[in-house]
Amino acid sequence: MPQIVSANRLTDGIVVFLGQGDQWVENFRSAALLADKPALEAGLARAQDAVRANIVVEVAPMDVAETPHGLEPKHIRDRIRAEGPTVRLDHGKQAAHGA
Amino acid sequence: MYRYDEFDAAFVADRVAQFSDQVKRRLEGELTEDQFRPHRLMNGVYLQLHAYMLRIAVPYGTLSARQMRKLAFIAREFDKGYGHFTTRQNLQFNWPALKDIPAVLTHLAEVEMHAIQTSGNCIRNVTADHFAGAAADEIEDPRPYAEILRQWSSIHPEFTFLPRKFKLALTGAPADRAAIQVHDIGYQLTKNASGETGFIVYVGGGQGRTPMIAHKIKDFLPVGDLVAYTQAIVRVYNLDGRRDNKYKARIKILVHEMGLEKFMDAVEAEFAAMNKQELKLPQAEVERIQAYFAPPALPSKSVRSEALEARRATDKKFASFVENNVSPHKAPGHGVLTISLKAIGAIPGDASAEQMEAVADLAEKYAHDEIRVSHEQNLVLPHVALDDLPAIYDELVKHKLATANIGLISDIICCPGLDYCSLATARSIPVAQRISEHFGEGARAAEIGAMKIKISGCINACGHHHVGHIGILGLERKGVETYQITLGGSGDETCSLGDITGPGFSEHDIVGAIETIVDTYVAQRRGAGEDFLTAYRRLGMAPFKKALYERDKGADI
């Protein structure tokens, strides 16, 4: 199953995703898609570099599905992390990208 | 209310400086996350699903208008304009940036507040009856003793690294509004045959994954021995409590595994060996602290308020508000007003900055500058004149704070659940919202009567589901949220743990299941005077189980 790598940004705790190269992005749809185990391991290694560099904390892989609308987190917990609280649609990522 | 002395002020200022330096060193990379985590937890900073969370202590749930305004200011300046009042009478902000937390703590210190010991394996914020100092049924205000315990337990060197967290609660009335029997230690003020004041002592209660009702270990503890005896209990726990398994590390497990008698013997031996002179509470010191909690000088009034009665006669909504949200006060012509943070369909316990300020204004204008946070996630103005209730009500209406549902089915305790919390296994808030919308605050809710629904989004039970008349526990089964129901729990003086009905219900079916339970109760109660809990205790689980699980088979409910 394809995965992306999530973490929380050290300075403000906001959920971020490993993008291309060493970039961390706030929108999971811009995350680097890691299609197989070697790709995931390489992604997690880059994420651990960012932990050591005090950029992010709490690195965790996230299962995603490729849908006609783009990437979607598989699990409800990850969907909530990626979008924001389901009871406050005015907060979290969903507020910014109108999801 | 209590005012910081020089020691308190210096202590909090030192702690703010210390933690600010730790945050700075973390942001500069001098401390790793593993090194920093214990420091941030000791200062109430968690990392949750979306962001950091800051939990601010509200000792025994008492706030002044100035403090409430400061919380509103912080909500607006450093968060997203709202906060969440918790079941430990605390306030949580859901979105603060780590880099801003030193500034937030500096602001809090200006109004004698902090976030110390709101997390970590230490003695947590001491809670008390939210009607303390006002309720008609009270023997004595428990808050001076809660304050003494707060001072004693603040960075107590022996008890800063306990096997697990430790929670104390106090009540000054026989009616238990502080859920003392589901605390690590619960103290209930009482009088002995000679008329002296002391405490009934309960130990070893708690909720979480292994819920237990506390054992009464003493019928009368003289007030002067409060600190010494607490120290004896916590010392036995600290020495003998399990540290090998965090799920078995609370004092309730120690009491259970040692056996009550052996545990009590150990506490008594520790108490006997202690230097009592050192820990005896001097009466003068008790009185000094009590002076801070002296009741406000309330004007003499007649029991009946003409202003209230006139409005009540012509305004049904106001009449319902008075009926449900006002409790008897010690002083004639006064009431204890509970302000519901459970507007129909709203998030239980959440308050916007504007609402916080509205309550602060009302407290200052009508309620002797006192506000309480209840563990049931509402706010309380403990001292209001009945004559002022029409004006207070009109103001509350403007701020969507006049919901007349205290103690009714839509007055739901609910943890943040999977919408915010990294420990949660299912969402709890949307379930609370749908139940609230389904039953509302009108005739249907009135017909059902006294009903406490409590919802937790995981087995840690922050939403107190074990002691809900109807408890709902959100779990995850194969990636899907599922909700287990318990019936017959109670956190009051008749404390009981709920019984599981059977298999859980889907998110879609949970409201229908609650409706089935309510219908079964209404159909089988002995008139409207028999509330749900009483009826359940008489009827037992069988009729509810039958209605819930056999309805698809054509059972008649």
State pLDDT tens for residues B373-418: 999 999 999 999 999 999 999 999 999 999 999 999 999 999 999 9
Name beta bridge partners: B384.
B335
- Which H or E element spans position B289? helix B283-292
**pLDDT bucket at B285, cuts 50 / 70 / 90:** very high
B98–A57: do the CB atoms touch at under 8 Å?
no
Claim to verify: residue B232 and residue B190 sit in the same structural domain: yes
**What span, in angstroms and rounded, lies between the C-alpha atoms of B183 and B219?**
17
pLDDT score for A99: 44
Compute the nearest-CA separation of B352 from chain A (Å). Answer: 13
**Residue B295 and residue B383 in contact, taking contact as beta carbons nearer than 8 Å:** yes
Q: What is the pLDDT of residue A1?
A: 85
Q: Please say if the pLDDT value at position B250 is more than 70.
A: yes
**Which among A11, A53, A80 is the nearest to B49, CB-wise?**
A80
Contacts 24+ apart (CB under 8 A), B276-283: B276/B225, B276/B228, B279/B227, B279/B228, B279/B231, B280/B224, B280/B225, B280/B228, B281/B148, B281/B223, B281/B224, B281/B225, B281/B226, B281/B227, B282/B224, B283/B224
B34 and chain A in contact, CB less than 8 A: no
Residue where one domain finishes, among candidates B364, B398, B432:
B398
The answer to whether position B137 is within a domain reads no
Distance in Å, alpha carbon of B140 to nearest chain A alpha carbon = 41
Residues 393-422 of B with CB under 8 A from A: 418-420
Q: Determine, yes or no, domain membership for B405.
A: no
Query: Are the C-beta atoms of residues B224 and B234 closer than 8 Å to each other?
Result: no
Does the beta-carbon distance from A92 to B479 stay under 8 Å?
Answer: no
Instruction: Report the share of chain B in percent with pLDDT over 70.
Output: 99
**Closest of B546, B492, B500, B499 to residue B519, by C-alpha:** B546
pTM of the complete model: 0.96
Who among A11, A15, A77 is closest to B98 (CB)? A11
The pLDDT score that the predictor gives to residue B499 is 98
In angstroms, what separates the C-alpha of A24 from chain B's closest C-alpha? 15
Query: Under a CB-based contact definition with an 8 Å cutoff, are residues B524 and B535 in contact?
Result: yes
Cα separation, A30 vs A19, whole angstroms:
6
Q: In terms of CA atoms, which chain A residue is nearest residue B37?
A: A57
CATH number at residue B247: 3.30.413.10
According to the model, what pLDDT value does residue B551 have? 63
Quick one: B274 and B166 in the same domain? yes
Tell me: pLDDT of B124 over 50: yes
Q: Which of A13, A54, A87 sits opposite B97 (nearest CB)?
A: A13
pLDDT at B277: 82
Verify whether the Cβ–Cβ distance A85 to B420 is below 8 Å.
yes
Looking at the structure of chain B, the number of domains it has is: 4
Q: What whole-number distance in Å separates Cα of residue B329 and Cα of residue B131?
A: 9
Q: Do A11 and B430 touch (CB under 8 A)?
A: no
Query: Is B50's CB within 8 Å of A76's CB?
Result: no
> Region B127-140: what's the mean pLDDT?
96
Domain identity same for B334 and B276: no
Report A:26-85 residues touching B (Cβ under 8 A).
Answer: 51, 53-54, 57-58, 74-77, 80-81, 84-85
Phi-psi region of B424 (alpha: psi -120 to 50; beta: other; left: phi over 0): beta
Segment B136-185, tens digit of pLDDT: 999 999 999 999 999 999 989 999 999 999 999 999 999 999 999 999 99
CATH code of B48's domain: 3.90.480.20
User: What is the arithmetic mean of pLDDT over B354-372?
Assistant: 98
For B453-499, how does the pLDDT look when each residue is reduced to its tens digit (9 = 90+)?
Answer: 999 999 999 999 999 999 999 999 999 999 999 999 999 999 999 99
Interface check for A13 against chain B (CB to CB < 8 A): the answer is yes
Determine the residue of chain A that is closest to B24 in CA distance. A11
Look at strands B168-171 and B127-128 and give their pairing. Answer: parallel
Per-residue pLDDT, averaged over B226-242, amounts to 97
Which of B45, B50, B98 is best to mutate for the A interface (most A CBs within 10 A)? B50
Determine the Cα–Cα distance for residues A29 and A19; give it in Å rounded to an integer. Answer: 9
User: In chain B, whose CA is at the least distance from the CA of A83?
Assistant: B50
Per-residue pLDDT of chain A (99 residues; tens, 9 = 90+): 899 999 999 999 999 999 998 899 999 999 999 999 999 999 999 999 999 999 999 999 999 998 998 889 999 999 999 999 999 999 999 997 654
Distance from CA of B268 to the nearest CA of A (A): 45
Residues of B in contact with A13 (CB under 8 A): 47-48, 50-52, 96-98
Residue B226 in domain: yes
Half-sphere exposure of B310 (CA within 13 A, CB side): 7
What was the pLDDT predicted at B556? 46
B96 interaction partners in chain A (CB closer than 8 Å): 13
Longest dimension (CA), chain A: 38
Q: Name which of B99, B347, B418 is nearest A11 (Cβ-Cβ).
A: B99
Q: Which of residues 426 through 445 in chain B touch A, CB cutoff 8 A?
A: 427, 429-430, 433
Residue B175's domain spans which residues? 142-292
- The verdict on A86 touching B (C-beta cutoff 8 Å) is yes
Position B231 pLDDT exceeds 60 = yes
Q: Where would I find the H helices in B371-530?
A: 389-398, 429-439, 443-448, 510-524
Contact B26 A54 (CB under 8 A): yes
Interface mutation target, options B49, B434, B437, chain A, most CBs of A under 10 Å: B49
Q: Which residues of B touch A87 (CB under 8 A)?
A: 347, 419, 427, 429-430, 433
| Subunit contact B52:A13, Cβ cutoff 8 A | yes
Q: Which of B268, B292, B316 is the last residue of a domain?
A: B292
pLDDT digits (tens, 9 = 90+) for B292-322: 999 999 999 999 999 999 999 999 999 999 9
Taking a C-beta distance cutoff of 8 angstroms, is the pair B463, B415 a contact? yes
Nearest CA in chain B to A15: B50
- Chain B partners of A15 at a C-beta cutoff of 8 Å? 49-51
Q: What value does the mean pLDDT of chain B take?
A: 96
pLDDT confidence of residue B26: 98
Which of B292, B323, B347 represents a domain boundary (last residue)? B292
Per the listing, tokens 């009270």 go with B138
Nearest-CA distance from A85 to chain B in Å?
A: 5
Q: Residue A98: what pLDDT?
A: 52
pLDDT at B557: 43
Is B173 in the same domain as B33? no
The tokens for B195 are 């008329």
Measure the CA dihedral B386/B391/B397/B399, to 10°: -110
Q: What does the domain layout of chain A look like in residue ranges?
A: 3-97
Q: What is the pLDDT of residue B481?
A: 97
The alpha-helical segments, DSSP class H, found in chain A are 37-52, 76-83, 93-97
